[in-house]
């Protein structure tokens, strides 16, 4: 088991070459506040991080699943583990 880097994560869908880099999804933004807890829209929740998988186990984002691609970069996956379009990126660290 592990923990995510503390700070704010912005979630987005990829853009294209003719427009913005990505389409921000504010309803999915969250802040990791301590070892296994996050806040989204003011609601505290929990997550479980094992191997390269992150599962939101409580709170507003309960049920969302991610694969940790690198430090501060998560890609949403479906129940079968297939990558989906949404990505969440650490945009500011907490100190």
Tens of pLDDT, residues 54-79: 999 999 999 999 999 999 999 999 99
Is residue 39 within 8 Å of residue 48, measured between CB atoms? no
Q: Rounded to an integer, what distance in angstroms lies between the CA atom of residue 77 and that of residue 82?
A: 5
- As given in the structure block, the two tokens for residue 81 are 């583990």
pLDDT at 95 over 80: no
Q: Rounded to an integer, what distance in angstroms lies between the CA atom of residue 32 and that of residue 26?
A: 15
- Taking only the tens place, the pLDDT of each residue in 16-49 is 767 667 899 999 999 999 989 999 999 999 999 9
């Amino acid at each position: 088991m592990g923990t995510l880097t503390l700070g704010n994560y912005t979630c987005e869908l990829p853009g294209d070459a003719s427009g913005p880099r990505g389409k921000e999804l504010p309803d999915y933004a969250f802040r990791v506040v301590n070892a296994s807890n996050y806040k989204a829209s003011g609601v505290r929740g929990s997550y479980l991080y094992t191997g390269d998988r992150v599962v939101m186990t409580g709170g507003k984002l309960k049920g969302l699943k991610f694969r940790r691609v690198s430090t501060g970069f998560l890609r949403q996956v479906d129940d079968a583990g297939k990558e989906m379009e949404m990505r969440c990126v650490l945009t500011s660290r907490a100190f």
